[in-house]
Amino acid sequence: MNDQKNPGGAHVAVAKGKPSVALLVTCLVDLFRPAVGFAAVKLLEEAGYEVKVPEQGCCGQPNYNNGDRQGARAMARGTIERFSGYDYVVVPSGSCAGMLRIHYPALFEPGSKDQQQAEDLARRTYELTSFLYDIAGVTEVQAQLSATATYHDGCAGLREMRVRDQPRALLASVGGLEIAELSEPEVCCGFGGTFCVKYPDVSDRITEKKIADIRNTGADYLLAGDLGCLLTIGGKLHRDGSTITACHVAEVLAGMAEADSDADD
Amino acid sequence: MQTTSLKFRQLASQALADETLRTALGDVERIMPVIRNSALDQLENPEAWFDRASASRDRTLAELDVYLEAFEQKVQQLGGHVHWAADGTEACEIIAGICETAGARTVTKSKSMVTEEIELNAFLESRDMTVVETDLGEYIIQLRGERPSHILAPALHVTLSEVAETFHRHHDLERAAPLREPTEMLLEARAVLRDRFLSADVGITGANFLVAETGGVVIVTNEGNADLTASLPDTHIVVTGIEKVVPTLEDAGLMLRLLARSAAGQRLSTYTTLIHGPRRAEDSSGPSNFHVVLLDNGRSDMLGTQLQEMLRCIRCSACINHCPVYTAVGGHAYGSVYSGPMGAVLTPGLAGLHAAAHLPNASTFCGRCEEVCPVRIPIPKMLRYWRDREFERRMTPRSVRYGLDWWTHMNASPRIYRSLLGIAARLLRGLSSRGWITRLPGPGRAWTRYRDMPTPAGQTFQHQWRRTRGRAGES
Ligand code: SF4
């Protein structure tokens, strides 16, 4: 538990042969659904990586998206420092991964040291399923789930991180799992970060349409790669009394979907 | 430019409760992406076309003054006049002046968003002129005293039975039976408008593109109404924004293909007209007076700023049709003639950020607008630009600013952040019943108004990790 100065950097997996992956767990997973983090660790370790969890906080997206560049920069600097030195940084969220990959470099003066470091982090940052498929070369998993699931493409994962086929390919290898595609998988779920609490009724209408699409598939599970989408859709499914379970792709791929699908206190 | 954008929340709520609007928007959402995609798929590699189009727009904007002056010169050589208007009032004055010189009593207009932007109709009416919109949608909303709810389909929010009712009220006609079928309504409007076309003294149109190399004005419609507006009266006034210029006919061709496909899934609009100046000696018909009014109204202020790319916009409305917020609330909620994503960027630029404060915020940043834009305008980046300005100018609500500040402080040390999350988890568990929270206090209320929140499952990830796997190195 050493400290703010140079965590990570000093003890990165240089010693072992395995490449190192630092997991940025994200605020929402950290708080609401730790199982997603453990699922990610399991998948990454099975893929042959040394997984580390550096001390961490928020990536700064709420600040960035609300015009607070200064706050966002402060948080970006913190993240950049704590995640330096690892071979890869993997995030079980397309939106937080997009923040690191696309937006951190845009926060700093071009050519500045901060920006170079941001670029360095950006180059090493991946969304979980695309990392597993594109970088680690994982094409199948051992998990089982006898159910029908549908998959929602989180906007930032899809458009910023180019995540589309990777989760689908991996899900196809889950034993017993049928995938029933949405008619509009690429339409927003209405979350939008702070948007959903700033304009709750607009957000709700968008979610309502998404849910109609989900129901039409007849799926038992709604899967996505972003907890923001899952909380939004899952929270409304529950309010509506639906039995459809919202679940992170990582949980399914790690065979942890059934164990903790409906968090009971 | 007048806006009611500050009432976005209220207008949006009203719109959400409007079931007929919901049906209309549902059609846009369902149909438009399909026809757009199939039209674009006919182009070999549409992405390459997008690249060419945005590069062409960038080249033009980099030397906008040069192209505009070239255009002006050509128009003058053709015997037309070019007027430069710094803002809406100036444009209205110029146009009213031309109309008065022509002794105009009746003015016909084809659809033009720029004239909506400068509120030309009201201005001309205040000078005792009768203004008749000739685009069917515009005509309907003019009769109803409404503003357009979509830049290309202005009467999108009006149902068929409302159209019938509007025509019954405004058309003084003998009918065998009440209007019911769309074709009947169309034919009736056509007959009424035919008289107006013939009696008009001045015709006002917008322009889709201005061609610098030839002085040509390109206008596309699907109804042919612009052609009648431009060619029957003795005076034709073109009113458009300064960004509409393109260097050559070839550039115009490139834009037209993308415009028609992106806008309505067409390979080309039904009518594409290229007008070069007033009637020539050898022409048998056409207006003898030809004027082009070039409107700035805040556009040149965007040049050289991070908003410059917005001036690439060719008003195709693809971003609007694909926007989850627009297709939830419709155009009127935006309180601006320009709605949807493009409107949320343009309106603060044209009407001032204070008049449009909500618009840049009412976006989920889903990024679909940027994905479908044929001239690759990075709309989310521009919405962010406005949010940054709002924050800088302390226009962001105080509660949000303080909240963000507090969040930054909480994140200054990972240890504080971890304990904060731990406390949050405990508090949330205290509010929970059977794994779910149905009512949150404070800012969380907005969440639980419509949805439940799952209870944090046990301790936070970082806590559990440190207990089970941590310590050994990564603190
Ligand atoms: S911003 Fe792009 S997509 Fe939207 S109207 Fe303009 S050109 Fe079309």
A50 closest CA partner among A78, A81, A88: A88
Amino acid at A188: C
Distance from CA of A163 to the nearest CA of B (A): 14
Indicate the domain borders of chain B.
Answer: 1-34+317-396, 43-300, 413-474
Strand partners, A51: A21
> Domains of chain A, with CATH numbers?
2-134 (3.40.50), 140-261 (3.40.50.11810)
Q: What is the CA(B317)–ligand 1 centre distance, in A?
A: 5
| Both tokens assigned to A236 | 């409304």
Token digits for A174? 């889950």
Q: Tens digits of per-residue pLDDT, B307-366?
A: 999 999 999 999 999 999 999 999 999 999 999 999 999 999 999 999 998 999 999 999
Determine whether the shortest distance from the Cβ of B339 to ligand 1 is under 6 A. Answer: no
Q: What is the CATH number of domain B43-300?
A: 3.40.50.10420
* Integer Cα distance of B125 and B127 in angstroms: 5
- Whether B174 shows a pLDDT value over 90: the answer reads no
List, in sequence order, every residue forming a beta bridge with A20; answer none if it has no partner.
Answer: A50
Nearest to B404 among A68, A197, A198 (CB): A68
A120 contacts chain B (CB < 8 A): no
Min Cα–Cα distance to chain A from B425, Å: 6
Smallest CA–CA distance, residue B46 to chain A, in Å, is: 17
pLDDT-derived band at A258, boundaries 50, 70, 90: confident
pLDDT tens readout for residues A99-124: 999 999 999 999 999 999 999 999 99
For residue B304, pLDDT over 50 is answered with: yes
The residue among B160, B115, B126 whose CA lies nearest residue B140 is: B160
Return the residue matching tokens 């357009």: B148
> Does the beta-carbon distance from A265 to B451 stay under 8 Å?
no
Indicate the pLDDT class of residue B207, thresholds 50, 70 and 90: very high
Name the pLDDT band for B458 (thresholds 50, 70, 90): confident
Residues of A in contact with B388 (CB under 8 A): 67, 69
- The pLDDT value recorded for residue A16 is 55
Q: Is the CA virtual torsion A78, A80, A81, A83 positive or negative? A: positive
Locate the chain B residue with the closest alpha carbon to A22: B474
User: Which residues in A74-101 are b (16+ Cβ under 10 Å) and which e?
Assistant: bbbbbbbbbbbbbbbbbbbbbbbbbbbb
Cβ B255 under 6 angstroms from ligand 1: no
Q: Which of residues 145-184 of A touch B (CB under 8 A)?
A: 155-156, 159-160
Q: Which of A77, A86, A152, A158 is nearest to A117 (CA)?
A: A77
Q: pLDDT per residue over A150-202, tens digit each?
A: 999 999 999 999 999 999 999 999 999 999 999 999 999 999 999 999 999 99
What pLDDT does A2 receive? 36
Query: Can you tell me the ipTM of this complex?
Result: 0.94
Torsions phi, psi for B436 (to 5 deg): -135, 150
- Ligand 1 geometric centre to CA of B321 (Å): 10
Contact B164, B185 (CB under 8 A): yes
Average pLDDT, chain B: 94
